[in-house]
Structure 1
């Protein structure tokens, strides 16, 4: 991998050229090219990235793609609601622990893409239940003007968020609806050597400083950008996106004790109506060309394909203290731990 800035116009031109080649004989589209059956996928990243993924996959393969945007928690709930009559063929994005929770409930069909050979072992499941397409580090996204008003500095530790100066000035999503927030919850479990009681005790203390639990994991960054709170707990790539979109009073910091990270995954859903189209979709998402699309719409997560381009807007993971994540444990504990958060800390936001 290499790190450089990609001008949007040049990136778009390169993408068009690459995808034209894919359509003509391309890379990773499998035997489903030109299929008349659409692929319908759950998409968990931000809307503009979802739109681009759907349209460019269709351009590359000739397979029509439809999607429904759902957060990680919403995706698992939607899959549970549909039962044996699935609406979707694949799930793109959202933390791997969410895909593992779906697998625990019987909603994942293992599939090892031939393109997964290019992905590092730590970013894929050995049994093919999920394969990583991007990595994101959890961060504090703070409004420097609001920090000045409350007499606080940008937080650089989890303990900083407990400072009374931050009363009603922190926003985060609810772990029952957001993979981002569940990552924050599980990070505290890891930092407390697997002690879930200690993690929940931390969030009980933090609760008085929380202005609002949002449904979406990125919404707290927008709240910080608008000056509604001092700090939002979100992934760093989302904070950078908001900065580039005009919220220039935002700054990104990381907790020194260690921060959780998300491996955004793609997976094949059980009982898919178009399994071959879904496999072609998964194959395509693992290519460098597909992963390079994210930065063109301001999604600055770190791609997992080593041939993809790293830009200056992406976090240098070597410079952040990452807390090792046991994704299997995080996925297996999700349902029970979220239920405890809902009961012991705060109920999930309603529609």
Structure 2
């Protein structure tokens, strides 16, 4: 998923002093140790996801290491199982690193499957998106956005209440079933967070109330919104992760024109996290991979793939984001309000939304 303009050696030495890096005592030593290992084994990294193809190529070119890529289409659960299945294996089927959904980080830590490591840019990663002990850390995220077909929708909604407008009858769709799909659950949560004025404890309940009103008014379309249904006009407004919406905008090439809007309130971020296997056959290569991903270069690699780097606010504040990349995104200030729900908040909202959708909203979302 990504060089850092800062001098890494001092930071890395500081990590050594804190015990975070056991196998290398400077950045130069880390690079040397990784090269001695010779390779890195990854898993579940499709090249078209968040620009991973270019990120992997950049890492290989920078450090001269081979990257052994296992099962690019695996899911987070498969990655965890791969660590478990290869605890005593130092061969090519044992992953060194994983990239998983947020909830998988704490559970993998609890099972003893991860080892701690704090990258040199650690302090610029939001606290809510990382384990305090360094066992897992968010790397990129999307925020829930409105993907709008502007051939059909002339008054483009700017915030959640705007979706209730009379001219959006039979227009608004979720990108999944909120009884089971995380993206859809998070969209309902985001609408509820807006209605509850930021009170996470009420977001699930308020989100259901909002969608009940949206459905009663006739604006909600109970099908899974996709690029095709957006283009055809069946779902001219789709609520989905911004990086999916932005990729659709490119794919559709103006036919129809697509506007991607980050809502004014209820800006909810969905995080994917990185971690190093406790049984990594190439632990130094794994740490070097993490240094690369969290460097400026690595973080901008995500941005090129429309995934929001976890260090976005820090990069923007320091003028590190190229103008051409920013031009392809909604305004930077739109992301400054992004909320990173805690695991507890996510779990509570999921429980309410998935189990009460039928009784409160009563719309059966079709695939």
Tell me the CA shift for residue 204 of structure 1: 5.0
Structure 1 length-normalised TM? 0.69
Taking the aligned partners of 2:332 and 2:116, their CA distance within structure 1 comes to 28
Correspondence for 1:210 among 218, 221, 224? 221
Secondary structure in structure 2 of the residue aligned to 1:210? coil
Q: What is the match of residue 170 of structure 1?
A: 173
Given that 1:29 and 1:283 are in contact with CA atoms closer than 8 Å, whether structure 2 keeps it comes out as: no
Tell me the CA shift for residue 285 of structure 1: 0.7
Taking the aligned partners of 1:330 and 1:270, their CA distance within structure 2 comes to 28
Q: What is the match of residue 124 of structure 2?
A: 119
Q: What is the match of residue 312 of structure 1?
A: 327
Q: What is the match of residue 63 of structure 1?
A: 66
Q: What is the match of residue 142 of structure 2?
A: 136
Q: Deviations over 1:165-212 (max 9, x none)?
A: 442642413467765434324324544331333333444555672343
Correspondence for 1:326 among 333, 341, 354? 341
Taking the aligned partners of 1:158 and 1:265, their CA distance within structure 2 comes to 28
Correspondence for 2:308 among 301, 312, 315? 301
Taking a change above 3 Å as real, the CA distance of residues 290 and 325 of structure 1, as seen in their structure-2 partners, is: closer
Taking a change above 3 Å as real, the CA distance of residues 262 and 145 of structure 1, as seen in their structure-2 partners, is: same
* Correspondence list, 1:164-203, <5 A: 165-167=168-170, 169-174=172-177, 179-188=182-191, 190-191=193-194, 192=196, 193=199, 194-195=201-202, 196-203=204-211
When structure 1 is superposed on structure 2, of 97-106 and 222-231 the one drifting more is 97-106
5+ long unaligned stretches in structure 2? 4-26, 87-93
Taking a change above 3 Å as real, the CA distance of residues 334 and 295 of structure 1, as seen in their structure-2 partners, is: same
Taking the aligned partners of 1:159 and 1:58, their CA distance within structure 2 comes to 47
Tell me the CA shift for residue 230 of structure 1: 0.4
Taking the aligned partners of 1:281 and 1:245, their CA distance within structure 2 comes to 30
Q: What is the match of residue 7 of structure 2?
A: none
Q: How many residues align?
A: 314
Structure 2 length-normalised TM? 0.66
Q: What is the match of residue 78 of structure 2?
A: 78
**Higher Cα radius of gyration:** 2
Tell me the CA shift for residue 290 of structure 1: 1.9
Taking a change above 3 Å as real, the CA distance of residues 125 and 84 of structure 1, as seen in their structure-2 partners, is: closer
Taking a change above 3 Å as real, the CA distance of residues 189 and 98 of structure 1, as seen in their structure-2 partners, is: farther
* Correspondence list, 1:1-351, <5 A: 29=31, 31-33=33-35, 35-36=37-38, 38-43=40-45, 46-47=48-49, 49-61=51-63, 62-69=65-72, 74-75=75-76, 77-79=77-79, 84-85=84-85, 88-92=95-99, 94=101, 97-100=102-105, 102-103=107-108, 106=111, 109-117=114-122, 119-122=124-127, 123-147=129-153, 153-162=155-164, 165-167=168-170, 169-174=172-177, 179-188=182-191, 190-191=193-194, 192=196, 193=199, 194-195=201-202, 196-204=204-212, 206=214, 209-213=220-224, 220-221=226-227, 223-225=229-231, 227-248=233-254, 249-269=257-277, 271-272=279-280, 274-296=282-304, 298-299=305-306, 301-302=308-309, 304=311, 306=315, 308-310=320-322, 311-319=326-334, 322=337, 324-333=339-348, 336=351, 340=355
Tell me the CA shift for residue 69 of structure 1: 4.6
Given that 1:89 and 1:275 are in contact with CA atoms closer than 8 Å, whether structure 2 keeps it comes out as: yes
Q: Deviations over 1:89-120 (max 9, x none)?
A: 433375xx334464477376252333233624
Taking the aligned partners of 1:160 and 1:276, their CA distance within structure 2 comes to 50
Taking a change above 3 Å as real, the CA distance of residues 47 and 185 of structure 1, as seen in their structure-2 partners, is: same
Taking a change above 3 Å as real, the CA distance of residues 231 and 107 of structure 1, as seen in their structure-2 partners, is: farther
Please give the root-mean-square deviation of Cα atoms over the aligned residues, in Å: 4.2
Taking the aligned partners of 1:334 and 1:30, their CA distance within structure 2 comes to 46
Taking the aligned partners of 2:363 and 2:234, their CA distance within structure 1 comes to 20
Tell me the CA shift for residue 41 of structure 1: 2.5
